[in-house]
Amino acid sequence: MKRLRPFTVVLLAILVTLLLVAYDRHARAAQPYGDKEPDVQPPAESPDWKRMGKPQPGEWLAVFSEPGQTFAEYKKQCKNRKTDKLNKMYLVPLGDIAQEEPQLIEKSAQYLGIFFDCDVVTLPAVPLPEEAYTRKRDQYNADRLLDGVVLPMVKEKPDALAMIALANEDMYHGGLNFVFGVASLEDRVGVYSVARFHGVIELKDDSLELLRTIKLASHETGHIFGMYHCTFYECVMNGTNSLTETDRRPAHLCPVCLRKLEWNTGLNALERYKKLEKFFADAKLKEEAEFCKRRIKELEKFRSSAPKTANEKRKTP
């Protein structure tokens, strides 16, 4: 197998069992699961914040031993932080996906902008290079797409926090049967495929494909922002070892991972949840919209009951 570049995260799957795996070189040498406790707590107790229990056979944490990453550790380890000069995300459609699924591209860009509190620029579609195609496998080499297409593009964008390419063609990496994506934390780039989200199992509507796509894109881009797999709560940053496990995990960040993103980008959590609630409602993703409504109510109650600062007291009539 080709050696991975430093700080590379690969989302992969074994064809026979439809495994969805995000490979991180840190996972192999990680400490046993359960050694750490979260250093950020939710504003209030809620059944929505479910702690990660003992992994079941076949689940990610049953296969890969990971220590998790506290907020304090994240602040020390994060190398890609939003600034006045580094403040945009770029979405690059590869091949025919922009023509075949224009709404998926549009909604994915809209969601990522809300999720990461960044401006997202959708670039013109880029053809899939023939040299990245392996005829014998009828698949594209994800590494060649990353190195040959996406990496040169991010070098031309000095304001890019992340450069993400989205394709509708099947991909592979090394000796693996196929991959859903490859992302480099060091280079701030990623290339993801949605081909298997609807190519293996016929979907009843577009909402499941959209949900899977935004989970994939936000999870992998979270890695580009320096976030490791979450082992504290059920969270979109959980590692997953099957498509079933992926579907079972939430689309949202847990309190620890949200705090990481708040620190990184300076986002306003309440305003972010309001925008997310509207997005999910418009996309007819009812469960996700209801989750956001509960968070909005929770944060508004918490903020209204919090002690006022000296400046706020002076402004009070």
From residue 219, how far is each of 157, 182, 253, 254, 282 by CA, in Å?
Answer: 22, 12, 9, 12, 22
Amino acid at 151: L
| Contact by Cβ (8 Å): 71, 255 | no
Which helix (H) or strand (E) element contains residue 143? helix 142-145
**Interacting residues of 196 by C-beta distance below 8 A, sequence separation 6+:** 13, 18, 170, 178, 180
Which helix (H) or strand (E) element contains residue 163? strand 160-167
Catalytic residue among 59, 66, 220, 245: 220
The residues pairing with 172 across neighbouring beta strands, listed in sequence order, are 141
Residue 93 DSSP label: E
202 is an active site residue: no
138: left (phi over 0), alpha (psi -120 to 50) or beta: left
- Distance CA(33)–CA(35), nearest Å, equals 6
| Contact by Cβ (8 Å): 23, 174 | no
- Distance CA(4)–CA(23), nearest Å, equals 10
- Distance CA(133)–CA(113), nearest Å, equals 31
- Distance CA(124)–CA(9), nearest Å, equals 26
Please, how many CA atoms are within 13 Å of residue 141, restricted to the half-sphere of its CB?
Answer: 17
- Distance CA(79)–CA(122), nearest Å, equals 24
Catalytic amino acids? 220
